Amino acid sequence: MKDKTIDYILRATWQAVSRMYNEEAQKYGATMATGFALLSMDKDKGTPSTSLGPKMGMEATSLTRTLKSMEEKGLIIRKKNPVDGRGVLIYLTEFGKEKRELSKSTVLKFNDAVKQNVSAEKLLHFMEVSETINELISEKKIFNI
pTM exceeds cut of 0.75:
yes
pLDDT tens digits, one per residue of 39-91: 999 988 899 988 888 888 888 899 999 999 999 999 999 999 888 878 899 99
Phi, psi of 135 (to 5 degrees): -65, -45
pLDDT tens digits, one per residue of 30-45: 999 999 999 999 988 8
Q: Which residues touch 69 (CB under 8 Å, ≥6 apart)? A: 34
What type of residue is 95?
A: F
